[in-house]
Structure 1
C-alpha cells in the first residue's frame, strides 16, 4: 500500500476515535511510530487535524465539567406523619447541572463531552449508559470505586411542598486541579468549556488559568447560593457567568431589589474580569450585559408542566448560540428562553422535542420596543422547581 493511502487510512482511524494512541495507530497500520508521527504532522500542516488529541476541525466538542446525579423525588400520598412509614410515590431522574446541559447540547446536535465523577455502582453505570445513548462522550470521567454516585433526594408532602432534601455530592470534591490537569488533551480538544460550581474552588481557578492561556471560551454556571463561595475573586478569562438573581445577591452580599441594583452587581462581576453576565429571573425573564449596559428580555408565557431542568436548558441554548460563532448575547438569551419554555412544557428534564433547527429559526432581530421589565418581587423563584431550591 502506498504512503498516500496509508495516510488516508490513518486519518479515517482518527476520525473514528480522535483519542486513539500513536501506538495503536502504528499496530493497526503496521507502521513504525516515527512513520505515524510523520503522517500526523503532515495532517496538522494541512489543517485536517488541529493538533493535540488529533482534533478534527468538524469534531471539536463542547466540554461540560461538573455534576451528574441521580435525583430522587418521594411524595407522600396523604398528610405526612413523622416517626412512621408513609405511603408515597417515587420518581428517579437523571440530573446534575453539567449533565443536563450536556444532554441538551447533544439533542441540539452539537458534539458534546462530559467530565464528571461517578461511583462504581448501579446509579453510576445507569448515568453513564444514559449519557452515551444520548450521544455524550463520557471518556475521561472519574470513576470512583470507593464512593457512591452523587444523589439528591427530596421528600415532599402531599401538596408537593418540600419537607427536607438530602444531597450526597462530596465525590465532586475529588475533581481536583490535578484531575483537571490530567485531562488537558481532552480539554485542549474542546471548542468551549462549560463548568458548574459543584467543582472545588481550586479546580474552578485552574479552569480560569487555562482559559487565560489557551483562549478556549469558558462559561461558568452557578448551582446554588452556598456554592457561590467557590467562585474565585479573579475572573479574568471568563467569557460568561450564568446565575440567578439569588446567587447574584449572594455574590454581592446584599439584596438587589431594583434593576439599577442588578446593573451595579453585574458591573462588579465584570470588574473582577468576567466578560459578560446573564442573570435569570425565573418566570419573569433574564438580564444580560450588553455593550457596557444591562439588557432585559421577558420570559415566554407557557402552560407549565414541570419546571425541572428549564434553567439548564436555557444555559445550553446560550452555549449553542455562542458555539455557532455569534457573540450576540441578546440572540443567545432569546434562544435560551425558547428552549426553557419548551422544557417547562415537558414532563422530561430535557425536552425530547429539542432540535437545532428550532434555534436556527430565531435570528438576530429584536422586538421594538423591548417589553419593559416588570418590578422585581422581594422573593425569588428561579427556573428550577421549589422542591429543588439548590440545583446542584
Structure 2
C-alpha cells in the first residue's frame, strides 16, 4: 500500500462510516482523490462492500515501549565533556513502537499495546502511529504519568555514543491491564514483545500465550535477563552476540562456533534465533537450516532503529509464510532502509523499498 492508503486505512479502522468529504478534509486532499484511493483499496481486496468493511487479515500485536526520541548529532567529531555544535531532533520511538510502525509500513496489519502520557509527546506518538496505519485502540493514555523519552547522542560516525532513557510509564502496563486485552492477544497470529516490559508483564505474556508464535527483542544485556526463565516459550529471538553469550553462558572464540551457540538456544526451546553481528551481518538458525549472511556495506545516516526494522522484517516475513532465508534477507534489507534516514523510522519504509535493496545489494 502507498503512504496515503495507509493513512486512509487507519482512519477507516476508527470510523468505517466516515464520509469521503470528511476523509478528504482530514487528509487535506480533494474528495476525488479520496475516491481514487478507496477504489484502489477495494481492488486490492482490503476494503469490501459498503460502509468500508475491511477484509479480515492476519495481524500482529506488538507489546512494548513507546517513547519520544530526542537525538543529538555533532557536526564533527564528538568532543566529550564539551558543548558540541550540531543538530537536535525529536521523533516518536521506542523499541515496540518502532517495530510496530515499520511492520505497518511494510503492509502487515499491526496493533500496538503500550502506554503513553496524556501530554504533548503522547498525543504526537498516537497521531504518528495512526498515520502509519497502526491500530492504537489498545494503547493506554494515562493522565498521571509522563510519556517516556529516550535521549541519545551520536558520535562523529553516526553511531550511538551515549543514551539515557526515562521509561517508568511502561511499568504501568500491568498484568491486570494486559488481562483486559486477552481476547485481542489470543486472536493474534503473532505476538512481538520487547524486553523493556516489566518482569511481571513478560512472565504473564510468555507463560500464558506460548500457543501463539512469540517474537522477542532482547533490547540490552541488562533487560535480556528477564526472559531467561521463559526461553522455551519464545518462537523467534533476536539478540546481539553479547546478549546471546550472556543468556547462554557460552563465549565463542570465532564465528565458526556460532552453530554451537544456536544449538544451545534450540535446546532451551527457542525455535529460531537471529544473532546480530553488527557490521559482520546476521547468523540465523532454526535447528535445521543455518547461515551467516554478510551485512550490506551502505552509508549509515543513523544507527538508531535498524534493529527494530530488522525484527519488523522478520515479522512481516512470518505473516507472509516466507522461509527463514527469505525472511532474513528481507529483514536485513529493511535494516538498510532504516539506516539510510536521519529519523528513527524511515518514512520511505515499504515492501517495495525493501525489495529494491534486496535486488540491488543482497544476493
1:132 is paired with a residue whose SS is: helix
Call closer, same or farther: CA 1:155–1:282 in 2, change over 3 Å: closer
Counterpart of 2:34 in structure 1 is none
> Matches of 2:115 and 2:256 in 1, distance apart?
40
> Matches of 1:333 and 1:321 in 2, distance apart?
8
Call closer, same or farther: CA 1:237–1:353 in 2, change over 3 Å: same
Q: Does 2:299 correspond to 1:303?
A: yes
From 185, 188, 201, the equivalent of 2:186 is 188
1:137 is paired with a residue whose SS is: coil
CA drift of 1:67 comes to 0.7
1:112-123 to structure 2, matched below 5 A, reads: 112-123=110-121
> Matches of 1:161 and 1:216 in 2, distance apart?
35
Counterpart of 2:146 in structure 1 is 148
Q: Does 2:206 correspond to 1:237?
A: no
Call closer, same or farther: CA 1:201–1:256 in 2, change over 3 Å: farther
CA drift of 1:297 comes to 0.9
> Matches of 1:18 and 1:203 in 2, distance apart?
31
CA drift of 1:87 comes to 6.1
Counterpart of 2:163 in structure 1 is 165
Higher helix share: 2
> Matches of 2:153 and 2:13 in 1, distance apart?
45
Counterpart of 1:350 in structure 2 is 345
CA drift of 1:138 comes to 1.0
Call closer, same or farther: CA 1:152–1:292 in 2, change over 3 Å: same
Corresponding residue pairs, total:
312
From 256, 259, 263, the equivalent of 2:255 is 259
Call closer, same or farther: CA 1:164–1:321 in 2, change over 3 Å: closer
Q: List per-residue Cα deviations over 1:94-153 (Å, max 9, x = no partner).
A: 211111111111111111110111112111111111111111111111222222111111
> Matches of 1:68 and 1:16 in 2, distance apart?
21
> Matches of 2:212 and 2:222 in 1, distance apart?
28
Counterpart of 1:73 in structure 2 is 71
Q: Does 2:100 correspond to 1:96?
A: no
Counterpart of 1:129 in structure 2 is 127
> Matches of 1:293 and 1:159 in 2, distance apart?
35
1:313-324 to structure 2, matched below 5 A, reads: 313-324=309-320
Q: List per-residue Cα deviations over 1:128-186 (Å, max 9, x = no partner).
A: 11111111111111222222111111346778786653211122122222222111122
1:349-388 to structure 2, matched below 5 A, reads: 349-358=344-353
Q: Does 2:290 correspond to 1:294?
A: yes
1:172-251 to structure 2, matched below 5 A, reads: 172-212=170-210, 215-251=211-247
> Matches of 1:92 and 1:306 in 2, distance apart?
13
> Which consecutive unaligned segments of at least 5 residues does structure 2 have?
1-11, 17-53
CA drift of 1:218 comes to 1.0
> Matches of 1:175 and 1:16 in 2, distance apart?
24
> Matches of 2:248 and 2:196 in 1, distance apart?
20
CA contact 1:205–1:232 (8 Å) conserved in 2? no
Which one has the largest radius of gyration?
A: 1
Call closer, same or farther: CA 1:281–1:139 in 2, change over 3 Å: same
CA drift of 1:76 comes to 6.0
Q: Does 2:338 correspond to 1:340?
A: no
> Matches of 1:87 and 1:268 in 2, distance apart?
47
1:118 is paired with a residue whose SS is: strand
Call closer, same or farther: CA 1:81–1:250 in 2, change over 3 Å: closer
CA drift of 1:345 comes to 2.1
Call closer, same or farther: CA 1:120–1:268 in 2, change over 3 Å: same
Q: Cα RMSD over matched residues?
A: 3.1
Counterpart of 1:380 in structure 2 is none
Between stretches 62-71 and 143-152, larger displacement belongs to 143-152
> Matches of 2:107 and 2:161 in 1, distance apart?
39
1:125 is paired with a residue whose SS is: helix
> Matches of 1:81 and 1:290 in 2, distance apart?
43
1:165 is paired with a residue whose SS is: strand
> Matches of 1:304 and 1:252 in 2, distance apart?
31
TM-score between the two structures when normalised by the length of structure 2: 0.76
Counterpart of 1:277 in structure 2 is 273
> Matches of 1:157 and 1:314 in 2, distance apart?
22
